[in-house]
Amino acid sequence: MQRLNPKHDRLLILFLILGLVILAFITTPLLEMTAGQITSNQPGMRDVINDSAVWKSIFLTMYTAFAATVIAFVFGVPLAYFLARRDFPGKGIVESIVDIPIIVPHTVAGIALLTVFGSHGLIGCPLSSFIRFRDAVPGIVAAMLFVSVPFLINSAREGFQSIDPRLENVARSLGASEWGAFTRVTIPLAARHILIGSILCWARAMSEFGAVIVIAYYPMIAPTLIYERYISYGLSESSPIAVLMIVVCLVIFVTLRLISAGWRQYDRE
């Protein structure tokens, strides 16, 4: 890694300045809100930390996001592998379908999910005797899964595409079954991409709001609770919850990023 030389790296210095602008744009609102809560003499943060409803919403958010990520992994990784290894008519259409949740406004996604998983929907109606999606945990998971699954599929697909298919063929020639070659050769080599995709999937699921409030306003996940407190009481009641959510998310995702970075260092060695 080379150090910047002001005489020879003027373009890089310009890019650094432009990059710092966007970093400041991201961090300034978060730091301002957090600092305001920490330095304030108001008991807002103390009340929030002792509020069982807040912690319940945070744990519900983490649990449902994790459930959505597990489902995305079970069904998304096989699709990612298939897209990485096979060319077929309409492949571009399938890849475009995978990316639709990224493009569609999430309130629209919530309405679309409600028409399918609602009590009179294509899936919700026949399952209504066994499982309820409207204003229930399964509805939250469905909304989170819809908006987050593209991140895992796309990341896993890139990982599979980076692996030479001949490595799998060699494993099979040495007596490994297709499943054995996949689990012992392909998955370990693509593991970092899958991990990063899972982190992004979970992060996107945890931050979802628009689709969730349409299909399952209750029970309240953290983003919904923050919105409700803001509408009912203003910034004084919603900001402390937002700060607590930021801290929890930072701890989780910094830890996961460190694990991912350690995995990358291990691969290099």
Would you say residue 254 lies in a domain? no
Structurally, the chain folds into a number of domains equal to 1
| Predicted local confidence at residue 34, as pLDDT | 81
Q: CA 183, CA 6: separation in Å to the nearest integer?
A: 49
Would you say residue 138 lies in a domain? yes
Would you say residue 46 lies in a domain? no
Contact indicator for 195, 181 with CB cutoff of 8 Å? no
Q: What percent of the chain has pLDDT over 90?
A: 54
List pLDDT tens digits, range 132-188: 999 999 999 999 999 999 999 999 999 999 998 888 888 888 888 888 889 898 999
Report which listed range, 3-12, 194-203, 250-259, is most confident: 194-203
Per the structure block, which two tokens stand in for 124? 């919700």
Q: CA 140, CA 132: separation in Å to the nearest integer?
A: 11
| Predicted local confidence at residue 108, as pLDDT | 94
Would you say residue 18 lies in a domain? no
List pLDDT tens digits, range 181-223: 898 989 999 998 999 999 999 999 999 999 999 999 999 999 9
Domain interval for residue 185: 61-217
> pTM surpassing 0.85?
yes
Q: Helix (H, G, I), strand (E, B), or coil: what is residue 62?
A: helix
Is residue 254 very low, low, confident or very high in pLDDT (cuts 50, 70, 90)? confident
Would you say residue 1 lies in a domain? no
Per the structure block, which two tokens stand in for 65? 């996001």
Closest by CA to 215, choosing from 109, 135, 106, is 135
Mean pLDDT of the chain: 88
Q: CA 142, CA 123: separation in Å to the nearest integer?
A: 12
- Residue 149, sorted as left (phi over 0), alpha (psi -120 to 50) or beta, turns out to be alpha
Whether residue 18 has pLDDT greater than 90: yes
- HSE-CB of 28 using CA atoms within 13 angstroms: 6
Q: CA 121, CA 102: separation in Å to the nearest integer?
A: 23
Whether residue 262 has pLDDT greater than 70: no
| Full DSSP string of 182-224 | IIIIIHHHHHHHHHHHHHHHHHHHHH--HHHHHH--SSPPHHH
Would you say residue 120 lies in a domain? yes
Would you say residue 7 lies in a domain? no
For residue 261, the Cα-to-chain-centroid distance in whole angstroms is 18
Length of the chain equals 269
| Full DSSP string of 63-97 | HHHHHHHHHHHHHHHHHHHHHHH---TTHHHHHHH
List pLDDT tens digits, range 92-144: 999 999 999 999 999 999 999 999 998 888 888 888 888 999 999 999 999 99
Would you say residue 186 lies in a domain? yes
Closest by CA to 218, choosing from 158, 154, 136, 105, is 136
Kindly report the CATH number assigned to the domain that includes residue 68. 1.10.3720.10
